[in-house]
Every structure is written in C-alpha cells, then in structure tokens.
C-alpha cells in the first residue's frame, strides 16, 4: 500500500476561535460611535440608488439652470435689465436658489418614505435597535447620512456651476448653507414622518402643498419683494428663502444688513435643532414602546 | 447573580409587568434562567411573549417589576445588555438593499467590531447557517428558511452569551424547521443560553430544557417538558373521531373512561395511562369510532388542560 501523502504532512493547528472584544467594550464603542455606524449603514444602502440620486440632485437642477438661466434669462435680462436682480444676471440670481431648493427637495424625500420604511415597511430600524445602538442614535444616524448626501450633491453642483462660469469661486461655502437648509426643512419633516402609523398619502400632500409652494414662493425665481405682501409670509417662514438669501450673500455679494444674515442663519439653526429634538423623541417613544 | 441554590442566573425577572394603556400584556411574571439553559416561553398568539422578549433587550420599558440580564438592568444599561445578546426577532428585518454577507458585516459594525474580525467571522457564520454559497446573493433571492437562518447568523455576529429567539420557525415548512432546530441544537451544545418563544409544542419539546407556559400575560405552569406533562396530563392520550355531529353523543357514552375527557370540535381526547386499554373498553361499550389513535401526552395537552383552549386556533 502506498502511503497517503496527507498523513506525512504536519497537522496544521486549528485556528483560534474568533472572539470579539468584550461586551463592555462593544457597548462603549456603540455609545460613542453609534450615530456614525447607523449613517455608514444608510450610506451603503444609498449606493444602491446612486444613479437616481445623481440624476435627481445634480441633473435636475442643471436642467432648470439651463432652461431658466440660459433660455428665460435672455428674455428677463434684456427686458428688466440687471437692476431687478440686484445688479447681477438672472443666471447668477438663480444659481444659489436652485442649490438650496434641490437640497430641500432631496431632504423631503429622504426624510419621508425612508423613515416610514424604517419603522414599518422594511423595519430596518429594528435591526440596529436589537444591537447596542439607541433609538436616538438611529434617528441621528439617518439624519447624518442624509446630511452627507446633501453635502456631496451640493458640492458637485457647486463645482459644476463654477466650472461653467455660472458663478464665481467665492461661493465655496454655499453647499454648507444648502445642507443646513435641507436639515432645517428635513428634520421637522422627519419628526412628522416618524409619527405616522398609516400611510394615507400624507407625504404626497406635503410634497404638493408644502415643498412645491416653498420652491415657488421663496424668492427662488424672482425676489420675494415682487410678491404681493399677503404671500410674502411664505418666504419669511421658509427655510428655502432664508438659505437662498444667505447663498446669494455668499455667492455674489448680494447686499443685506449683517443682522439679517445672522437672522437667516439663526432661523435655519433653530428649525434644524428643534426638528432634531422632536425627531429623537418621536423615535425613542415609538421604538421603545 | 448567584442565588440561593448556587447557580448563576443570566436572566432574572420578578413580577415583570407591562401595560399598554389599560391593557395588561404581561402580568406579573417571574422566572430565572441559569447560564447555558435552553429556556422556552410557550403560549398562544397575544400571550405576551414578544413583549417579554423586548423587555429583556431593554427596547420596551416595563411598567413595573424587576429585571436583570447579565446582572444589569436592560432599561438603564441597554447598550451594555444588548452587547451580550443575539436577537432573532419575530419578523425578519434583514436589509434588502444589502447583499447577504453585508447584512452580517454591517450588523457587526453596530457592535463596534472591526473589519478584521467581521470578515472571517461572517464567512464562518454563513457556513454555520449553510449559506456559504449565498454570500453575494440578494436577500430577495433567499427562501423563508434561508432568511431565518441568515437572521440567526446575524444574531451571532457578536458571539452572544444569550440568544433570544422569538418564534424562530413560525411560517417555515417542516423541512426548514428541522434544519433550523439542528443549528439551534449545536448552539446549545456550545453552551449558548437560548431563550425562545414558540406556540409550537413540538418545538418547545425539542429545544427547551425548561419552559413556562404563558397565557394572557400570566404564567400557567413551569418546568421541564417531561415534568409539565407528568404534572398536568396522563401518560397517554386516546384520540377518537366519530364524524361530524356525533362527537357529543359519543362523549356521553365514554363517560367514566380514563382520567379525563376533552371534547374538541373535531375529536374526543381521552386521557389515560394506558390508551389501548381504554380503546378496548370503549369498543366493549359498543362505540364505533371512525378513527382512533393512541399517542403520548404532549405539551399541547398540558396547555389544553391549563387553559381549556388549544395553542393554535
Ligand atoms: N406596542 C403595543 N401597543 C399596544 N398593544 C400591544 C403592543 N405590543 C403588543 N401589544 C398587545 O400585547 C399583547 C401581547 O402581545 P405580544 O407580546 O406580541 O404577544 P405574543 O408575542 O405572545 O403573540 C397583544 O394583545 C398585543 O396586541
Ligand atoms: Mg410574538
């Protein structure tokens, strides 16, 4: 009989069983980094619909820019001249507005159905809930991932409009304002979405009767002051208007008193902060029932 | 925490109570689970099993009572408690946007585990769950049994000392259930403490060292499956079917046979230590059942005895 080759070989030692760090260490890491872990998860999920995100958040505003800023602008600039828009071309006027509006619309998507899905349809919040992650971290992680998305799309938009000379490079900080606008609208929306138990078309209503009016009446395509006074309140209440005005200050040096810029910023921060607090509470109540 | 009889309980609940509004879902339940035990909560739908499980993980706040898991209060030290737990929820919540392997890895991240651990660990767990060849598959391509096994693999990513399984095999076909039971046996052999809920008495008999029978938020009885059967049922059961409408009249004629008689809509159960003997006596009385069957008593009989209802309606 021939000797089987395997018998001659020295035995490989069994691999040491894989042991994770201690439970206490796990919990400590989760307490500290949990929000980031949730965001990491959500961002990975977004990769699955990256194409849609790009089309929706970069392609779509560029299309508007082209139609309005090039097509409509030739009409507007020749008739009313640059005076109506504070001494800049119509294209320059709407570049910051579309940046902000697009971020707010993307936020209105990311903080509506995906929230419902986390609680109800796909129950994706209940996975991390069984781990050391807290409901508040689940809320914050979702928000953080959306903020990252908003920042990425806003930076890409800004880079493109700069590259095409539609605005100067001085507006580099505008993407941050757009992210803030997205959160100022989106976090209160998130708190509302988390409170919905049954989908009866509420999100479609919000889309039609809140998001679209904000888009149209927030000084996006024409200065708020050209609206009749009884419609101007929409702008004052609208994070889109406050952020767009800030974007104009940053983008082409639109002149307004410093206190007004401060007010824009404070209003956006207030909405975002209050929204986050409300959302955290709603998540905790619902997930820990 | 070591108790009077000297063993270390990894879970201990005293007068655990949960109310939703004025409805009491869990009504003063007490139990202890020693390390390494396989402990079951057997009860029908709505008994309060899932609510108990969620309180164990600290994701549902108790209304009153005391609860310790690994010596910690799940409500105040939720992350610390959950770091010890593996949880298989009643409803799968795998992430359908991620591939099979990524479901494990991303879940492991929630425990703060490094990729250097998660990569080999996820491969090991997929093998364990017999999903080694599905690592790159989409969740939608998996069968119900595979999803359940993946959920179990996911729950093991942190090498938990305690595994909570909420109705692990509900909705699976018999073949898939047996595969799953086999995996759970292996975990039990390795010393993992299993806490499982079920409304299948065969599952409870197969997997549980000890169990409590829960109904309407209360404990009806507790002990090992054999103890429960001994205490609450006879050794054997004679099942007789007389056909539609004739069960009630036949039951009259059976009076006095065995230890106890239960008349169900479709059959009559006669509890006795010797079923064959009782069948002989029934035939001697001139009864002619359409079918007859003698079997050993099961937890189903215990439940019927304790509550007057069957486990699955
Ligand atoms: N979040 C909740 N709000 C109100 N009632 C609930 C809630 N969760 C469970 N219940 C009720 O508590 C009872 C026990 O539920 P559950 O623990 O899911 O039972 P089981 O898991 O044994 O089927 C049921 O009557 C259920 O309707
Ligand atoms: Mg249940």
CA distance A266 to chain B (A): 34
In DSSP terms, which residues pair with B14 in a beta bridge?
A: B66
Q: What is the CB neighbour count within 10 angstroms for residue A245?
A: 25
Domain B4-224: CATH superfamily is P-loop containing nucleotide triphosphate hydrolases (3.40.50.300)
- The pLDDT of residue A81 is 62
Q: Which DSSP category does B214 fall into?
A: E
**Which residue in the set A29, A44, A127 is minimally distant from B112, CB to CB?**
A29
Q: Mean pLDDT of successive 10-residue segments in chain A (289 residues)? A: 47 67 94 97 90 89 84 76 76 92 96 95 94 98 98 94 83 93 98 96 93 89 87 92 94 90 97 98 95
**Which residue in the set A33, A126, A129 is minimally distant from B112, CB to CB?**
A33
Task: Specify the residue with its C-alpha closest to ligand 1, atom 8.
Answer: B51
CA distance A123 to chain B (A): 6
Best substitution site from B46, B213, B214 to test ligand 1's pocket, by max atoms within 8 Å of Cβ?
Answer: B46
Q: Ligand 1 within 6 A of B198 CB?
A: no
Contacting residues for B146 by C-beta, under 8 A, at least 6 apart: B131, B134
Write down the pTM of the prediction: 0.90
CB of B91 closer than 8 Å to CB of B81: no
Rounded Cα distance, B278 and B294, in Å: 10
How many whole angstroms from B153 Cα to the centroid of ligand 1? 26
Q: pLDDT by residue (tens digit) across B101-126?
A: 999 999 999 999 999 999 999 999 99
For the cut 90, the answer to whether the pLDDT of residue B129 exceeds it is yes
The whole-number average pLDDT for the span B243-262 is 87
Per-residue three-class SS string for A165-229: CCCCHHHCCHHHHHHHHHHHHHHHHHHHHHHCCCCCCHHHHHHHHHHHHHHHCCCCCCCHHHCCH
How many whole angstroms from B59 Cα to the centroid of ligand 1? 14
Residues in A touching B121 (Cβ below 8 Å): 18, 20
Q: Which of residues 128-187 of B touch A (CB under 8 A)?
A: 154-155, 158-159, 161
Q: Ligand 1 within 6 A of B50 CB?
A: yes
By CA distance, what is A141's nearest residue in B? B110
Which tokens in the block code for residue B56?
């164990």
Topology agreement, domain B4-224 and domain B234-296: no
- ipTM of the complex in this document: 0.88
Q: Ligand 1 within 6 A of B46 CB?
A: yes
Angle at A275 between CA A272 and CA A276, to 5 degrees: 85
% of chain B exceeding 90 in pLDDT? 83
- The pLDDT of residue A60 is 86
Beta-carbon separation of A124 and B93 below 8 A: yes
- The pLDDT of residue A172 is 83
Task: Specify the residue with its C-alpha closest to ligand 1, atom 5.
Answer: B20
- The pLDDT of residue B308 is 83
Residue ranges of domains in chain B: 4-224, 234-296
- The pLDDT of residue A6 is 45
- The pLDDT of residue A284 is 97
- Domain B234-296, CATH: 3.30.70
Q: What is the dihedral of CA A211, A215, A217, A220, to 10 degrees?
A: 160
Q: pLDDT by residue (tens digit) across B259-294?
A: 999 988 889 999 999 999 999 999 999 898 999 999
Rounded Cα distance, B82 and B88, in Å: 12
Q: Ligand 1 within 6 A of B297 CB?
A: no
Q: Ligand 1 within 6 A of B89 CB?
A: no
Beta-carbon separation of A31 and B79 below 8 A: yes
How many residues does the structure list for chain A?
A: 289
Q: Which DSSP category does B141 fall into?
A: G
**Which residue in the set B70, B83, B110 is minimally distant from A37, CB to CB?**
B110
For the cut 90, the answer to whether the pLDDT of residue B86 exceeds it is yes
- The pLDDT of residue A80 is 66
- The pLDDT of residue A16 is 62
Q: pLDDT by residue (tens digit) across B184-243?
A: 999 999 999 999 999 898 899 989 999 999 999 999 999 999 999 999 999 999 999 998
Beta-carbon separation of A122 and B60 below 8 A: no
Q: Where are the beta strands (DSSP E) in B92-173?
A: 162-166
- The pLDDT of residue A3 is 45
């Amino acid at each position: 009989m021939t000797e089987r080759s395997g018998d001659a070989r020295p035995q490989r030692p069994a691999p040491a069983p894989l042991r994770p760090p201690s439970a206490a260490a796990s919990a400590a890491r989760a307490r500290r980094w949990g929000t980031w872990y949730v965001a990491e998860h959500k961002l990975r999920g977004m990769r699955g619909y990256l194409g849609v995100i790009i089309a929706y958040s970069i392609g779509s505003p560029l299309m508007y820019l082209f139609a309005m800023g090039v097509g409509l602008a030739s009409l507007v600039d020749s008739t009313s001249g640059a005076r109506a828009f504070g001494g800049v071309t119509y294209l320059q006027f709407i570049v910051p507005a579309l940046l902000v509006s697009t971020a707010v619309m993307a936020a209105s998507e990311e903080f509506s159905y995906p929230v419902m899905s986390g609680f109800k349809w796909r129950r994706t919040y209940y996975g991390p809930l069984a781990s050391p992650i807290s409901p508040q971290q689940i809320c914050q992680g979702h928000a953080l991932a959306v903020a990252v998305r908003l920042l990425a799309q806003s930076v890409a938009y800004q880079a493109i409009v700069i590259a095409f000379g539609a605005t100067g490079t001085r507006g580099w900080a505008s993407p941050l304002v757009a992210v803030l606008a997205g959160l100022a609208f989106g976090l209160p929306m998130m708190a509302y979405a988390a409170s919905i138990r049954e989908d009866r078309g509420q999100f479609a209503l919000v889309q039609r009767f809140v998001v679209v009016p904000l888009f149209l009446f927030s000084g996006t395509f024409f200065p708020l002051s050209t609206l009749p006074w009884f419609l101007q309140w929409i702008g004052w209440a609208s994070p889109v208007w406050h952020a767009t005005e800030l974007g104009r200050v940053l983008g082409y040096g639109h002149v307004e008193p410093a206190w007004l810029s401060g007010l824009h910023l404070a209003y956006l921060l207030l909405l975002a902060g209050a929204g986050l607090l409300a959302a955290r509470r709603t998540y905790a109540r619902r997930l820990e029932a | 925490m070591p108790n009077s009889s000297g063993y270390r309980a990894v879970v201990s609940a005293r007068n655990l109570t949960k109310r939703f509004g004025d409805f009491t879902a869990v009504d003063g339940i007490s139990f202890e689970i020693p390390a390494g035990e396989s402990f079951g909560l057997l009860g029908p739908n709505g008994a309060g099993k899932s609510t108990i499980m969620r309180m164990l993980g600290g994701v549902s706040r108790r209304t009153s009572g005391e609860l310790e898991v690994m010596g910690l209060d799940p409500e105040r030290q939720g992350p610390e408690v959950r770091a010890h737990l593996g949880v298989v929820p009643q409803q799968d919540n795998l992430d359908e946007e991620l591939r099979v392997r990524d479901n494990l890895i991303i879940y492991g991240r929630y425990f703060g585990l490094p990729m250097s651990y998660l990569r080999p660990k996820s491969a090991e767990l997929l093998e364990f769950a017999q999903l080694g060849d599905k690592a790159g598959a989409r969740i939608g391509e998996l069968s119900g049994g595979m999803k359940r096994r993946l959920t179990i693999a996911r729950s093991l990513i942190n090498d938990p000392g305690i595994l909570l399984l909420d109705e692990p095999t509900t909705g699976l076909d018999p073949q898939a259930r047996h595969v799953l039971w086999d995996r759970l046996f292996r975990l039990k052999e390795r010393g993992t403490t299993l806490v499982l809920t079920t409304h299948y008495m065969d599952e409870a008999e197969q997997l549980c060292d000890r169990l409590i029978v829960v109904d309407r938020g209360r404990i009806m009885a507790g002990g090992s499956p054999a103890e429960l059967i001994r205490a609450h049922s006879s050794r054997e059961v004679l099942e007789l079917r007389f056909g539609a409408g004739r069960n009630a009249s036949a039951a009259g004629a059976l009076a006095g046979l065995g230890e106890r008689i239960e008349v169900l809509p479709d059959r009559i159960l006669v509890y006795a230590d010797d079923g064959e003997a009782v069948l002989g006596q029934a035939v001697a009385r001139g009864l002619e059942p359409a079918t007859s069957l003698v079997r050993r008593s099961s937890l189903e009989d215990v439940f019927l005895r304790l509550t007057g209802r069957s486990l699955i309606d």
